[in-house]
Amino acid sequence: MGPPRVAIVGGGLCGFIAYLTLRRAGVEDVTVFALDDDPTATFRVRAAAIRQTHMRSESDGHVAPATFPGLAVRDALATRSAKPLVATILDRYHATVETFLAHVDAQRAASDWSPVGTRIAAVRAVDGGFELDSHGVFRHVLVATGHPGLNIPDELRGDPRVVHAYEPHEYRESVCVVGAGLAAATEWRNALAAGARVTSVRRRDPVQRPLNVPRPFLSKRGLARFHAQDTETRITLLHELLAPSYPREAHVDVPVEPHVNGADQVIAATGFLRGWGHDPLLAGLVEGHDVATVNGWIGLDRDATVPALTDGTRTLALAGAAAQWAYPAADTLMGARYVAHGFARRCRTR
């Protein structure tokens, strides 16, 4: 029997991290399906739209398979300065977007990353694995299709003043920012710097914390606690962990309004659509194979595999936001690495 056929559906950062991790683990027969061969294509557009200058993640927010050396070490070597190392010891290191993108470009150049330029419309379980459209059967498949789309609240749809924060835009004379997460905080600052009058509309007070998810839930002990919860407690906990947040240093005071006012421009800093139902590929998978779901999430095992479709001979795993039932911070670079290592272990041992 020949080597297992492995496929990654999606060529963004999660897919790229998974590919590098598989290759480092010695898995050679890997096919990536993606329309764009630049894993940072979407990130570049969104980061540029909100004028992002630094990464929220710390030194380990990179795309290499191993946590060490992180970006702080690489930055210190490149600049011949100990400042990045001191900053990371104090949990104050945040790479610039430019540094991060250069790191991804270097990793890409050093690899044989070469996606098949097509979008997969459906994943269908068959004997021996999973059929991906007309591209054949693959024994192990990782679905890393990213966020299913930008979220614009229903009450703002059709308003000509509205632009999403992650879409390219300038700033008008008066700006209303809807939202309470990092994109909203960044847009408050951006619009003020552009000389606009800024107001904020939000449903809750902002949550201020350094990382997307509290640090304890990034550790083995914290994850064990998370996985041990019953379903209802886990749902409640996930909603708390995934509430919009931003680092304390990103805060700036702006007037708060209860409703969208008569501003010249309304910026929807309201993140992404959530839930498997907004992703056509995942929706087809759930409806076609009776996959268990929980309050908008697909129910996954701890290693982000789909239990009903994974056994000793084949693997179907999810990465990115779709894997948050297994790892709350799955849509971060660290979360992508967590899923990638679990997937690589199965590809090597099954």
The tens digit of pLDDT for each residue in 126-182 reads 998 999 999 999 999 999 999 999 999 999 999 999 999 999 999 999 999 999 999
| Domain co-membership, 145 together with 162 | no
Q: Is residue 88 part of a domain?
A: yes
Residue 1 has pLDDT above 50, yes or no: no
Domain span at 71: 6-149+274-349
Q: What is the DSSP letter of 5?
A: P
Q: Which two tokens mark 152?
A: 């614009």
184-197 average pLDDT score: 97
Give the separation between CA 66 and CA 60, rounded to whole angstroms.
9
Q: 1 lies in a domain?
A: no
| Angle, helices 13-24/333-349, rounded to nearest 10 degrees | 40
Q: Specify the DSSP class assigned to residue 299.
A: P
Backbone angles phi, psi at 62, to 5 degrees: -140, 180
Q: Bridge partners of 84?
A: none
Contacts of 277 (CB under 8 A, 6+ apart): 283, 296
226-279 pLDDT tens trace: 999 999 999 999 999 999 999 999 999 999 999 898 899 999 999 999 999 999
Regarding whether 289 and 143 lie in a shared domain, the answer is: yes
Which of these three, 268, 302, 331, is where a domain ends?
A: 268
- Does residue 283 share a domain with residue 238? no
Structure tokens at 3: 């080597």
Burial of 3 (0-12, 13-18, 19+ CB in 10 A): exposed
Q: Note the pLDDT of residue 204.
A: 86
The yes-or-no verdict on residue 349 having pLDDT over 90 is: no
Same-domain check for residues 162 and 189: yes
For residues 16 and 76, state if they share a domain: yes
For residues 92 and 170, state if they share a domain.
Answer: no
CATH of the domain at 280: 3.50.50.60
Number of domains in the chain: 2
- Residue 252 is part of a domain; what is its CATH number? 3.50.50
Structure tokens at 326: 């297994």
Residue 19 lies in a domain: yes
Global pTM reads: 0.95
CB 100, CB 62: distance < 8 Å: yes
- Cα–Cα distances (Å) from 53 to 97, 174, 287, 308, in that order, read 5, 24, 41, 42
- Give the end of a domain, one of 268, 285, 319: 268
Please report, for residues 94, 116, 181, 275, the alpha-carbon distance to residue 185 in angstroms, rounded to integers and kept in the order given.
17, 38, 6, 24
On whether residue 166 sits in a domain, the answer given is yes
Q: Average pLDDT, stretch 284-305?
A: 96
Give a yes or no: residue 163 inside a domain. Answer: yes
| Domain boundary residue, one of 237, 268, 299 | 268
Q: What's the chain's Rg over C-alpha atoms? A: 21
Mean of per-residue pLDDT scores for the chain: 94
